[in-house]
Amino acid sequence: MPKIKSHKGTKKVLKVRKGGSISIGRPGSRHNTGSKSSKINRKNRKGSALSSADKNRLKNII
């Protein structure tokens, strides 16, 4: 059996934290931020954690 290659695009977007959870950026934070409320812009800066269902699905990819 050959080795499973890691998906380079996914690897650049996701980061594994110390505790094993996976961090991912929030959608809607790239452009047109001037028209969005400052509350939403602040929320988008922090990012979020990947759900456990998605974590199990992407475990072999990254």
pLDDT digits (tens, 9 = 90+) for 6-57: 999 998 999 888 988 899 999 999 999 999 999 999 999 998 999 999 999 8
Tell me, yes or no, whether 30 lies in a domain.
no
Tell me, yes or no, whether 1 lies in a domain.
yes
In angstroms, the CA 17 to CA 39 distance is 25
- With 0.85 as the threshold, say if the pTM is over it: no
Paired residues of 41 in beta bridges: none
Print the domain residue range for 14.
1-25+35-62
Tell me, yes or no, whether 41 lies in a domain.
yes
In angstroms, the CA 6 to CA 60 distance is 8
Please count the structural domains in the chain. Answer: 1
Chain centroid to CA 14:
4
In angstroms, the CA 32 to CA 34 distance is 6
